[in-house]
């Protein structure tokens, strides 16, 4: 939910990150996870799965902000992050990649077998 995401990111400034944008990205993250998780976990309220959804939504938000920052050259400041104008988009995209990687790592045990997000395991032949 919005409160969880704002707590996770420190984005309490609703002018910087609107409730509408958060809602959209949470929906995007929820749909992406539903497409990848095993059907047995579709209604799960597991804390790790919820964390994965929050991290994935954060990644999507960071990418949205990176796209916006390419058009608006202004400082970006939250409780946890201060970016000066210039080079901001690249930093936001790097942070988004880290959040998304963490999200899929936390969701790993809930994923469908054979999904593109399931890590490969090498099998030793005799």
pLDDT digits (tens, 9 = 90+) for 75-92: 666 667 666 666 777 888
The Cα 123–Cα 32 span in angstroms is 29
In this structure, of 1-5, 35-39, 54-58, 76-80, the range with the lowest mean pLDDT score is 76-80
What's the CA dihedral at 90, 96, 101, 106 to 10 degrees?
160
Whole-structure pTM value: 0.76
């Amino acid at each position: 939910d919005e409160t969880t995401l704002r707590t996770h990111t420190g984005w309490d400034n609703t002018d910087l990150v609107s409730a509408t944008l958060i809602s959209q990205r949470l929906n995007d993250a929820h749909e992406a996870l539903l497409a990848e998780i095993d059907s047995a976990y579709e209604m799960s309220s597991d804390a790790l799965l919820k964390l994965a959804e929050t991290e994935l939504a954060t990644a999507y938000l960071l990418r949205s902000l990176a796209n916006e920052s390419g058009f608006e050259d202004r400082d970006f400041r939250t409780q946890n992050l201060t970016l000066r104008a210039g080079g901001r988009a690249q930093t936001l995209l790097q942070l988004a990649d880290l959040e998304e990687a963490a999200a899929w790592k936390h969701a790993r045990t809930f994923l469908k077998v054979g999904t593109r997000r399931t890590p490969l395991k090498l099998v030793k032949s005799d």
